[in-house]
Amino acid sequence: WKNFSTEFKVQLVKARLCRLGFLLQKINKKEVEMYIILIYVLLLLALLIIRAVAKLRKFITRQRRRTALKAGLIVNDFIDVKAFYLQRFKQVASVIYVTELDVNKAFRYMQTVLSAEIIELYQHNHFDFDADDVLFNLNIWVLKDRRMIETGTSYVEILYAQDQYAWAKELAVQLSAFRLERAVTALNHVRITGFMRELELN
């Protein structure tokens, strides 16, 4: 090395530096290509995962519907409230049925009185051309403490656990205030014979 001239040494260093720079450029280019391939693979995987999740959700929805149909939960395109109660609370409901009601008034009353207890509300609706509005056929109220209520066109069905008779009876008495006028008028011309039995439940 000592025997080489300074100019030769400079040229040799330049050549080595150029070669090193060329190698670095090649390495960087390969890394860039690797990053591009990696990003492409990740995007492809993300797309496949999104499609798989969508198909899985559809599958789960179909399975739940099949299970519900087998369990008798869906009847006439909507929920059977007694089967729903059994599925939700794992016990058979006791029932109080109140008929001949102005359900619009009863609905508003329950919205006010039971607002703090309502967990979910399921509705089966239809569009009424005369009213030019969407009206409900059925409502199912899921309440706290293993309670449910179904409201139809002229009735309210109260579902409750065996130890909640007092609560259900009180609600039924309150709802009886919304009896339809035509039902009261018709009753004046009919004599009814029956009996009432009170049960003491623990």
Q: How far apart are alpha carbons 194 and 140 in whole angstroms?
A: 30
Look at the chain and count its residues: 202
User: CA 17: distance to chain centroid?
Assistant: 67
Would you call 3 helix, strand, or coil by DSSP?
A: coil
pLDDT tens-digit readout, 11-57 = 777 777 777 666 666 665 566 667 678 878 888 898 899 999 989 98
Tokens describing residue 4:
């080489």
pLDDT tens-digit readout, 85-104 = 988 998 999 999 999 999 99
- Does the model's pTM come out above 0.95? no
Q: Which H/E stretch holds residue 111? A: helix 103-113
